[in-house]
Amino acid sequence: MYENGRSNMKIIDILKKPEFGLSFEVFPPKKETGYESVRLATEEIARLKPSFMSVTYGAGGGTSAYTLNIGKNIKDKYGVPLLAHLTCISSDREKVRAQIEAMKEAGIENVMALRGDIPAEMSDSDRSSWDYHYAIELVRQLKESGKDFCIGGACYPEVHPESVNQREDIRHLKEKVEAGVEFLTTQMVFDNSLFFTFLYKLREAGVTVPVIPGIMPITNGNQVERAIKLSGAFMPQRFRAIVDRFGNDPVAMKQAGIIYAADQIIDLYANGITNVHVYSMNKPDVAAGIQKSLADVMRSDVQTCEYT
């Protein structure tokens, strides 16, 4: 049913390939009752044969088994390489150790090592009593786990909200990479120039690992506010106009959102970025729409055209 051995590929080896790669992100159900519909949606996305799929990790860790089961299903049944997310801030070292063991057992090769947002109830407590403070501590634990996981990390072209400035944010990011992060995925960006400026600053600071831009297709007017609130991302006027115009027309908004995301991806590819991560949010129709819009572009072997 799938290419032999592809399911066990390390993401870093996928990123080294010269051809264009599109990856999709899905999230696990919050409750058992939602499991079946999420499984079906993620399988539909897996059938599109993305370069890899990532499965997020519920902030409190309460859905950790679903992250593994949904991810293992995609990997084993469809041969799609898996990137399993793992957060640490609201957990303790023993629980994280157990999850790492479960990932080893499930044959997972790639882990996105995240801190997670600091829960409101922790913010008043004594920081010295926390088991984790930053993702780098999880990266170190993964490196000491006895398995050679390929480790990914998060990064923020528009600066992580807790950082005092971008220089400090990049300094900590560099430390995270030096601790063992092999590639980075960005927070969603709606304006590619922010990604390119960030990439330039990373390279200038000596961060040399691959950086995958994260693209979020906004296909529903109500999603906009939530996406901006969660990510703090800048929404360009060009996109605001689309939402203002089509936000109340679900069919038109979906098409406009897919085309906007596809347009961003084409611009990234045209400017030398060969891997893009799509926050596809368990929406097979959106993932398929983007892939379809890019079909010929993705097939192109990108010969530089000489203008005459």
Q: Are 183 and 211 in contact (CB under 8 A)?
A: yes
- Which region, judged by CB under 6 A, interacts with ligand FAD, from 33-41, 160-168, 219-227, 266-274? 160-168
Instruction: State yes or no: residue 65 binds ligand FAD (CB under 6 A).
Output: no
- Token pair of 202, please? 């990373």
Beta strand spans in the chain (E): 21-26, 53-55, 82-87, 110-114, 150-155, 183-188, 211-215, 275-278
Instruction: State yes or no: residue 187 binds ligand FAD (CB under 6 A).
Output: yes
- Token pair of 99, please? 């999850």
CA 99 to chain centre: 20
Give the whole-angstrom CA distance, residue 189 versus residue 179. 26
Instruction: State yes or no: residue 88 binds ligand FAD (CB under 6 A).
Output: no
Q: Are 152 and 52 in contact (CB under 8 A)?
A: no
Catalytic residues: 25
| Helices 35-46 & 64-78 angle (0-180, nearest 10) | 40
Instruction: State yes or no: residue 214 binds ligand FAD (CB under 6 A).
Output: yes
Instruction: State yes or no: residue 253 binds ligand FAD (CB under 6 A).
Output: no
Q: Which is nearer to ligand FAD, 231 or 293 (CB)?
A: 231
Q: Which is nearer to ligand FAD, 136 or 290 (CB)?
A: 136
- Which region, judged by CB under 6 A, interacts with ligand FAD, from 15-23, 168-176, 189-197, 291-299? 168-176
Instruction: State yes or no: residue 211 binds ligand FAD (CB under 6 A).
Output: no
Give the whole-angstrom CA distance, residue 20 versus residue 293. 14
Instruction: State yes or no: residue 131 binds ligand FAD (CB under 6 A).
Output: no
> Which residue ranges make up the site for ligand FAD (CB under 6 A)?
56-57, 59, 85, 87, 114-117, 134-136, 154, 160, 162-163, 169, 172, 176, 185, 187, 214
